[in-house]
Amino acid sequence: MSIPWRLPDAVKPGDVVRVIAPSGAFDRERFDAGLAIIERAGFTVRYDDVVFSRHRYLAGNDERRLAELRHALAEDDSRVLWVARGGYGATRLLPHVPVDAVRRAGKWLVGFSDTTALHMLWARAGLASLHGANVTTLAQWSDGARDELMSWLTSPAPRLFRGRVMRRGELVSGRLLGGNLTVLAAMAGTGLLPSLRGAIVLLEDVGERPYRLDRVATQLVHAGVLDGAAGVAIGQLTDCAEPNADYTALDVLTDVLAPLGVPVLAELPIGHEPSSRAILSGALATLDTHEGVLTLRGPDASVSV
């Protein structure tokens, strides 16, 4: 069906940021450093102490993390849901969070990596979200990257990203959707992904050897998830090199994507590194492989999801 996309309202000084932990357990010192940055930006930070819960590798069991997410969506006065850490765990919650609840809440979501699963939920609701630093990675990001992230929340404006052309094609436009490659592959076949037809698909990853990237990208291709995509934007492939190999992770990923026949722009500054820049998931984007640039605009039109 076709639904209108919209951008959450701009955030103002003093607005409440609700910190949630739907994925992995995290380091308290890095968490506190991230909170301080958000507070210095002029926002009011709120979280419950249960955010520090641990259950194996998760920030508490599924019941705790799901209850926190539902409460954060229903809370009247918070404007932003900022994820504490990625890791793993968000996909386990998706079947239990109604798309309508996200749409009604109309709140910003901020995070990356495992938060890709939640960005896909926001996309199914037709709501733009911010693919940017988690609370525990904020202190590791550069000052410029942090400033740009905050400006997306307060005054969204067009952005331009330069990359390396891997496959040329016609100038294409579409909605920018995607995120962490491994998370997207884990969601294939679940019915929990939005349609990527006509989209410019963002892919990034960390700590995966080339053969693993081959495996998960091949899964997306064989499952038809990327059928009809307008183009592919590849971000940072951090710590994904095969030692002493005569090929790169990007070589492998580009080969797997070649049968799609779409333009591919790579080495964009989006992903797991301190130089990473925040992007608006759901933004209307243009991919130009003649100039080697990705341009983002606002989500001001309808699209089938």
Is residue 55 within 8 A of residue 89, CB to CB? The reply is no
Rounded CA separation 58/67 (Å): 14
Q: How far is CA 140 from CA 41, 46, 57, 113, 197, in A?
A: 16, 21, 22, 15, 35
Q: Which residues contact 144 (CB under 8 A, 6 or more apart)?
A: none
Does the annotation mark 142 as catalytic?
Answer: no
72 membership: H or E segment, kind and range: helix 62-74
Q: One of 68, 129, 272, 276 is an active-site residue; which one?
A: 272
Would you tell me the crossing angle of helices 210-222 and 249-257 to the nearest 10 degrees? 10
Q: Which residues contact 210 (CB under 8 A, 6 or more apart)?
A: 240, 241, 242, 245, 247, 248, 249, 251, 252, 253
Q: One of 23, 78, 204, 208 is an active-site residue; which one?
A: 204
Does the annotation mark 131 as catalytic?
Answer: no
Does the annotation mark 272 as catalytic?
Answer: yes
Q: One of 113, 129, 276, 281 is an active-site residue; which one?
A: 113
**Length of the chain as a residue count:** 305
Catalytic center residues? 113, 204, 272
